[in-house]
Structures are given as structure tokens and as C-alpha cells.
Chain A
Amino acid sequence: MTKVLLIEDDGETAGEITAELADRGFEVEWSPDGLDGLARARELRPDAMIVDRLLPGMDGLTVIESLRKDQVRTPVLVLSALGAVDDRVRGLRMGGDDYLTKPFAIVELVARIEALLRRPPETRETVLRVGQLELDLIERTVKRGERKIDLLPREFRLLEYMMRRSDQLLTRAMLLEEVWNYKFVPATNLVDVHMGRVRHKVDGPGDAPMIQNVRGAGFILRAVP
């Protein structure tokens, strides 16, 4: 079972996160204090960690920094009420792997944890395959079965990102950050519109839909027979 260590001083928030992660089959350990959290991280060696920034005992970023000094490479998601870009950058520089600002949707947190746990290995593969879908990174071509799909550069990048993380929920914020490299959420439904176009091209008439919209959460690319 995948072990997740949650270091969060607010009991109620921790309770909700623990319950949600437990429902999804994770084994969650909770620590409400920075110093205790650091000790548990060393002792438990979890598969992933969720660390709040402002903690009693020891600041969350110091906890991460101490672990990184010990050569502990466990993926860490930093939780914080401080959402300014500079704060995020600092969080990531101190050794965090991802950053989520409060308030957040629980699906976003789970999606990010899953993404961290299933972080794609640094492959040199030039052809990505998900079911019938095939994307050639050198030729810049996409095929579903025998049907060729014409994609614009941004759409190509979007599909590549989704294929590298197939069967994983990808939230709008994750897509904006990773595919567009934007640090802000635009007012309009940008991601949905772009995704709609990619979906239209990938799932042709008569095809079983590969790109699924998870209501209120994001999108998943799944292989279909």
C-alpha cells in the first residue's frame, strides 16, 4: 500500500485529507508538528509527503530542506496559504516538488499526489503510445489507429502531456501550469476550449472517447479497446 505522510497542524483539514486519501487506497500517517513530522519522515520513509508551510515546532520548508540534506528524495507536495508566485518559487527551490495553495479542491490535491507518485521516468522514448493513440515526438505526427490526426503545436503539447500521464486525473490548474506555463488562472474557460478541440480531433465520429471530462475536476486520457 502506498504510504503518504501528511504534516498539517489544522486537525480538521488533516482529517478531511486523510479520509479522502484513505478512500482512494492510500495509507496515511498524520503529524501535526514540524519536528515530529521530520522524525516520522525519517523513520517511516513514506512514498510521498504533503507538508504544510506554517507549522508549529519547525517550518514546513525547513522540514523539506532537512530531508533533502539527508538525501531523502521522497516527492513532496507543499501546502500553503501563501499563494504569491514568489512564495511558490521559494517552496519549490527549497526542495518541494509541487505546490498547492489553500483553499484547494480535494480532487486537485489527490490528482497532484497521484501525479507526483507516478511521475514519468526520464525516458528517451520518441514514440508515445496509449491504446490506439500514437504520438511521434520526432516526426511530430499523431495517429489513432490508422487515422492521422492534425494538431496545432499547442494541441500537440497538450496531448503529449496527457499521454505521458494517461489514466491520471489532470486538473485545469495543472494543465495551465505545465502545458501553458502560466502562473495565473485566466477568466475564461481556456483549458476547456483547447481540450474540446483536441478531444474533437482525437475522438473522431464512431470512436470510443479517450479523453474524459471529470466534472468539476479536470480531464483523464484513457486507453480504450
Chain B
Amino acid sequence: MTAQPTHPHATGRITHDSSDYQLDPVDRRLINTLQIGFPICDEPYAAVASELGISETDLLERLQHLLHTGYLTRFGPFYHAERLGGGLTLAAMQIPAHDVERVTAAINRHAEVAHNYERDHALNLWFVVATEKPEHIDAVLTAIALESGYPVHNLPKQREFYVGLHFQA
């Protein structure tokens, strides 16, 4: 176990109002490392901790803290939706500014909607729909069109060239 400065969270210095917590260099290395992958072995955190030169306890506390402060949204596997037999599509709508809030609420009520962004274009609402079965995509999009009163463009993926959502912290 390497002696390292204890993480602020562990000392109790930062407990609740940690929304403006600033990452330290170890947090940054941790984020950069764990975006790439995670070992599947008996004691994976110990393996990562040793790679980062910190203790396992420190690593676990940092992960907890980064999840708590919202730097990390989740820790686990990323699935290939299609390979799991699920449906996945990108949908877009053109909604007048005065109606964006209402339509967004209608869209987001659907548990199948994963992301929803407003973008700087006439087609201004963009959202991802993920369903357990591919045939459910149409039902969700139809429901959204009916509830909102606007057409929905369905823009399914035909080929994936690259997925590399890694951010240098």
C-alpha cells in the first residue's frame, strides 16, 4: 500500500456541499484511466489502484466521491444495444420555441428516451430512443408524435465507423 495524501472526502473536509469540488491530479489520472477499461478479476479495484499508485481504499473513496459530485454518472459496462437484441435510434423534431418545454416534457416522460438535447438548428430537438425490442421503437416514436402534435424524424444508424467518447480530464 503506497502512502498517499488522503482524499478530501475521506477526511470529512468535503462532505455535503461538494458541487464545486475541483479534481486533483490523481482524480484526473483515475478518470483518464477508467474511461478506457476496467479489469475483470477477483480484486479489480486493487489492480487499478496499484496501477495508479494509490491504495485501494483511496481509489474506492475517490470513485464514490466523483459519483457523488457528479463528475461520473455511472460505473459499469457499456452494451452494444443491437447485439443485446434491443432497439436504438436517433430521433429529431422541429418544435417552435414557445412549445419546446412542453414537448420536451412529453419526450422525457418516456423511459426509453436516453438523451435529449436542444440543438442550434431548425430541427432543434434531438433524442436517443433505446428499447428492449427493436419493434418497440416505432411505438415510442408514434406515441411521442401523438402526444406532442408534431412529426418525429426517425434517423436509425446504418453503420458505425467510430465510437471513442474519451475525454482527457
Tell whether A pairs with B. Answer: no
Chain B residues in contact with chain A, CB under 8 A?
none
Interface residues of A (CB under 8 A from B): none
